[in-house]
Every structure is written in C-alpha cells, then in structure tokens.
Amino acid sequence: MNSRADLDTLLPECDNEGYLLDPVQWSRAHAPLLAAQDNLALIDAHWQVIDFIRDWYADNESVPEARRVIQHLAEAHGDKRAAKHALYELFPQGYGQQASRIAGMRKPLKLMLDV
C-alpha cells in the first residue's frame, strides 16, 4: 500500500477527514489501515478502546463520550486519572479525532459543533 488511492480501494467510503460514512461497513481489518494513516501501530490497549467504542455503538447507535471510555478503562485498571492519561497516550490526536475514526465511527457531533 503506497498511496492514498491504494488505501481508498481497501476502505469503505469515508468523508474528507477519513471518518467512515457508514459505521456498519467497518471491520476489524480496517482499523490497522486507518491507524497507519496516523503512523500508529495498534496494540492490545488500542483494541480495548476500539472494541468498547464498537460495542457501545452496537448498543446505542452513538459514539460514547470520552468520559465513558475513561470510566470503562478505570473499571478495568482501577484508576480514573491513569485511565484518562492512557487514553490520550494511546490516541495522541484526541479521542474524538483519532480513536473514533479508527473504530470506524462517523465524525462525532461534538467535533462538528467545535468547528
């Protein structure tokens, strides 16, 4: 995969910022491709967040707020402050901007309102 055109043939339709237009079309195989756009190699901790986002979406048809992800991570690891720090270390461009996009979500409404 050498170009954006190569990537476009492997991914479902995205908007101009790389968010999928239809989250239902996402598959686990897409996440590493989306992460590679940010020079990010996914590890188990990334997948824990991605899986939580996808599970939340399946149950609620919405993207979970960052505080929900932090709460989930804190329940698994016991410390809310450390969970928040870990989330932003895993996704340095931001939860909404990076984690949501890699998990195959549409652009979160909060990000659209911030523009």
What's residue 9's pLDDT? 64
Distance CA 113, CA 37 (A): 24
Backbone φ and ψ of 26, nearest 5°: -70, 145
pLDDT band at 7 (very low <50, low <70, confident <90, very high): low
CB-based contacts of 1: which residues, under 8 Å, 6+ apart? 7, 10, 33, 36
Q: What is the pLDDT of residue 113?
A: 44
Residue 72 C-beta-side C-alpha neighbours within 13 Å:
16
Task: Pick the closest to residue 64 from 54, 77, 74 (CA basis).
Answer: 54
Structure confidence by residue, pLDDT tens digits, 53-97:
999 999 999 889 999 999 999 998 788 999 999 999 999 999 888
Both tokens of residue 33? 């491709």
Computed over every residue of the chain, the mean pLDDT equals: 86
Q: How confident is the model at residue 8 (pLDDT cuts 50, 70, 90)?
A: low
Residue 18 has pLDDT above 90, yes or no: no
* Structural domains of the chain, ranges and CATH numbers in brackets: 4-114 (1.10.10.370)
CA–CA dist 68, 40 (Å, integer): 23
Its pTM stands at: 0.85
Q: Mean pLDDT, to the nearest integer, of 15-24?
A: 88
